[in-house]
Chains A and B, each alone.
Chain A
Amino acid sequence: MTDTFLSIRQVHKAFGTTVVVQEFNLDVRQGEFVSFLGPSGCGKTTMLRIVAGFEEPSSGSVFIGGKDVTRLKPNQRNIGMVFQAYALFPNMTVAQNIGFGLKVAGMPKAQMQARVGEMLELIKLQEFGGRYPYQLSGGQQQRVALARAMAGKPQVLLLDEPLSALDAKVRVSLREEIRAIQKELGITTIFVTHDQEEALSMSDRIVVMYNGRAEQVGTPFEIYNKPATRFVAGFVGTLNVLEGKVADAEQGIVRIGAEDVATGRALTGRRAGEPISLALRPEAISLGPKDGRASTAHGIIREVSFLGSVIRVRVALGDDVVSLDTFNNPATPPPVAGEKASISFSPEDVHLLDQ
């Protein structure tokens, strides 16, 4: 990557005998929004804290703007950070909170006030400069924390699960706001989250982490549609996994229960009778035949869940159960549990998972 701004090289971190980050490598471009996505304990927050300087890596290096910052203290790195717990200073007003970093940097008062005004305008809280944090809602507090982190024009913005503590509606509106502000200012950003929807909707690229490793790095489209590992496939989005055996490796035919299913590609390196796992997203499966979805299988409807605009149907295929989504059509009654049904899908949508 030629225009790398933030570079993480071979970072390894252990607390005593517990390894929390291992062999972590990442290059982030200037202005890019990268999310660390993974379950609790996967090492994503530790990796973010290493970039921030709150943790020192056991080995490896972190470069910001070409400079090795691995041994620099957090206050020497010119980073902005937003915490899950807001971390606004309770003794300071909103304006004082935003101006804190500017004052520490020795900015003249007039210039500082102008910058604080700009930031208040950016987060649309112009009227709130004189209020104290306890007088704000959670969403407002987090916007102030964001403005405070960005007021000093940091090289890198680090967001540690900033939306986790907010209610669902505020979370959605604030994530759009954060992304818009980040794009407007063009600030290189790392965002830690365990919420795949947040990561998919906000990021230029996502790093899916598991057991301290980066399982896959890619765009949201790549991560969702071309998962590199079984973990990524299972963690990001809903996934149906069908366990079968190779029937014809050359033709790409897999036997699921009593049916042969076409995968649309040669199963190179596999032998007939070898166990194989196929994965399909619910939206890649249709109930009944559908143009362009050549592969079919037959089963029995086990469960029908009405989710408003979407109806989720669970169909048993031998020992496996697959979920599929159909749009709610008020003119057509939903399928009924217990009925026989066929499903169809495109061979291109089938993912082959490692055993």
Chain B
Amino acid sequence: MTVNRFWSWIFLVLGVLYFALPLVGTFEFSMKMRRGVYSLDAYEAVIFDPRFQETFTYSVMMALATIVVGVLLVVPTAYWVRLKLPAWRPVLEFVTLLPLVIPPIVIVFGYIRLYNTSSWLPLTGTAMGTNILLMFGYVVLALPYMYRAVDTGLRAIDVRTLTEAAQSLGAGWATIMWRVILPNVLVAVLSGAFLTFAIVIGEFVMAALLNRPAFGPYLQLIGANRAYEPAALAVIAFGITWGCMALIQVVSRFAPRPPAQPH
């Protein structure tokens, strides 16, 4: 028992060191821009850089658009499959897992080939078209996380009976979706949304190959040319991701509590 506990602690400490040391090192390095003292100069330089503001704003806007489109795509689909086509769930699960096994570079090359200026839908011909293409690319990248979050939320409620109860009370599909289903899976949807936000903010491959001014390519550019600022940016990016995770924890406390189910 004591030996087991000893080794448990050893592995825990090793794990924490493995994850925490690089972060602590990065953070410490980011504070060393001014010779001899710790300062926030690197953070100041990054935050007041117009390119940071431009790329960060761009990525935030893309993340919000991705979340909206992702929610509109995933929530009704997952709901309908649970309600009417339960036999199709494994197929849907497989499809939503594909972005994890197909590298983003393959997806984006496929997009460029399909939607280039000489194709039937020349989305890459305009900035807006390319933004839309990038946003759909992000929707695909976030699909495994968004679908799983929403599906888990739907599993926690009795979708069929709640739908039938609402129908018997005169509600149509839009009312059922908006007033019954969505509020009961809102926390799951928000979890998916925060994960999507974190993915989009740090994404590099798609934005770089589609030549859009996103935060990911900016991170890479700064990293290649500066010393202390990339460390500051890395810490900021980590902060955003952790902030999203913390928000998932916070909103999960406000989830509607399902009543005790009959046995």
Question: Chain A residues in contact with chain B, CB under 8 A?
Answer: 52-54, 73-75, 78-81, 83-91, 100-101, 104-105, 132-134, 136, 138, 141, 145, 148-149, 152, 158, 164-166
Least distance between A195 CB and chain B CB atoms (Å): 15
Closest residue of A by beta carbon distance from B183: A91
Cβ–Cβ < 8 Å partners of B170 in chain A: 75, 78, 101, 104-105, 152
A85-B158, A90-B184 given as contacts; is B262 within 8 A of A101 (CB)?
Answer: no
User: Once the chains bind, are A84 and B262 in contact (CB under 8 Å)?
Assistant: yes
Q: Name which residue of chain B comes closest to A149, CB basis.
A: B168
What chain A residues lie within 8 Å of B184 (beta carbons)? 89-91
Q: Complex Cα distance A112/B258, Å?
A: 25
Interface residues of B in 161-199 (CB under 8 A from A): 161-162, 164-172, 175, 179-180, 183-184
Measured between beta carbons, the chain A residues less than 8 angstroms from B164 are 52, 54, 74, 81, 83, 87
- The answer to whether A90 touches B157, judged by C-beta atoms less than 8 angstroms apart, is yes
Contact count band on B: 20 to 34
Q: Which residues of the partner chain A approach B169 to less than 8 Å between Cβ atoms?
A: 75, 80, 100-101, 104, 148-149, 152
Name the CB-closest residue of A to B186: A91
Interchain nearest-CB distance for B104 vs A (Å): 37
Beta-carbon contacts under 8 Å, B122-179 to A = 157-158, 161-162, 164-172, 175, 179
A133 and B259 form a contact (CB under 8 A): yes
Residues of B within 8 A of A145 (CB): 165
Q: Does B256 contact A (CB under 8 A)?
A: yes
**Chain A residue at minimum C-beta to C-beta distance from B184:** A91
Task: Report yes or no: A87 in contact with B258, Cβ–Cβ below 8 A.
Answer: no
A-B residue pairs in contact (CB < 8 Å), sample of 20: A74-B164, A75-B169, A78-B170, A84-B262, A85-B158, A86-B262, A89-B162, A89-B180, A89-B184, A90-B258, A91-B180, A100-B169, A101-B171, A104-B175, A134-B257, A136-B259, A138-B262, A149-B169, A158-B168, A166-B262
> How far, in Å, is B96 (CB) from chain A's closest CB?
26
* Chain B residues positioned under 8 Å from A81 (CB to CB): 164-165, 168
Known: A90-B259, A164-B262. A79 touches B168 (CB 8 A): yes
Q: What chain B residues lie within 8 Å of A75 (beta carbons)?
A: 167-172
Q: Is B263 an interface residue (CB 8 A)?
A: yes
Given A85-B158, A104-B175, A132-B257; 18 other pairs, CB 8 A cutoff: A80-B168, A81-B165, A83-B164, A85-B161, A85-B262, A87-B164, A88-B165, A89-B162, A89-B165, A89-B166, A90-B256, A90-B258, A91-B183, A100-B171, A104-B171, A136-B259, A148-B165, A149-B168
Residue B261, interface by CB 8 Å: yes
A156 to B165 Cα, complex, angstroms: 14
Q: Is residue B260 within 8 Å, beta carbon to beta carbon, of the partner chain?
A: yes
* A141, B183: Cα distance in complex, Å: 20
* Given A89-B180, A104-B170, A134 and B158 contact (CB-CB distance below 8 Å): no
One of B166, B172, B261 near A100 (C-beta < 8 A): B166
- Lowest 7 A-B CB distances belong to which pairs? A165-B262, A101-B169, A133-B259, A87-B165, A91-B256, A81-B168, A91-B183
Task: Enumerate chain A residues within 8 angstroms of B257, measured Cβ to Cβ.
Answer: 90, 132, 134
In the complex, the chain A residue whose C-beta lies closest to that of B257 is A134
Query: How far is the CB of A30 from the nearest CB of chain B, in Å?
Result: 20
The distance from the CB of A102 to the nearest CB of chain B, in whole angstroms, is: 9
Q: Report how far A83 CA is from B184 CA in the complex, Å.
A: 19
Most chain A CB atoms below 10 A, which of B168, B184, B258: B168
CA separation between A164 and B157, bound complex, in Å?
Answer: 20
**CA A85 – CA B161 in complex, angstroms?**
8
Chain B residues with CB under 8 Å of A53's CB are: 167
Minimum C-beta distance from B178 to chain A (A): 11
Cα A307 to Cα B169 with chains together (Å): 45
State whether A134 and B260 are in contact (beta carbons under 8 Å apart), knowing that A90-B157, A104-B175 are contacts in the complex.
Answer: yes
Q: Which residues in chain B, 199-238, are within 8 Å of chain A measured between CB atoms?
A: none
Compute how far the CA of A105 lies from the CA of B157 in the bound complex, rounded to whole angstroms.
Answer: 25
Q: Which one of B161, B179, B256 contacts A87 once the chains associate, using CB atoms below 8 Å?
A: B161
Contact A165 to B256, CB < 8 A, known contacts A75-B172, A81-B165, A100-B169: no
Q: Nearest chain B CB to A14's CB is how many angstroms away?
A: 19
With a CB–CB cut-off of 8 A, which chain B residues contact A91? 180, 183-184, 256
Q: Which residues of B contact A105 (CB under 8 A)?
A: 170
Chain B hits for A87, CB < 8 A: 158, 161-162, 164-165
**Residue among A91, A132, A141, A158 with the most chain B CB within 10 A?**
A91
Contacts of B162 in A (CB 8 A): 87, 89
By a CB distance below 8 angstroms, the chain B residues around A78 are 170
How many angstroms between the C-alpha atoms of A90 and B153 in the bound complex? 13
Tell me, in angstroms, the Cα distance from A7 to B170 when the chains sit together: 21
A91 to B175, CA, bound (A): 14
Q: In the complex, how many angstroms separate the beta carbon of B75 from the nearest chain A beta carbon?
A: 15
Q: Knowing A85-B161, A87-B158, A90-B157, say if A73 contacts B260 (CB, 8 Å).
A: no
Judge whether A134 and B258 touch: CB under 8 Å: yes
CB contacts under 8 Å to A, within B101-123, are none
> For residue B158, which residues in chain A have a CB less than 8 angstroms away from its CB?
85, 87
B45 to chain A: closest CB distance in Å? 47
The answer to whether A73 and B167 have CB atoms under 8 Å apart is yes
- Look across to chain B and name the residue whose beta carbon is closest to the beta carbon of A145: B165
Chain B, Cβ-Cβ closest to A144: B259
B263: contacting residue among A89, A134, A141, A165, CB under 8 A? A165
Are A83's CB and B259's CB within 8 A?
A: no
**Considering only CB atoms, which chain B residue lies closest to A76 in the complex?**
B170
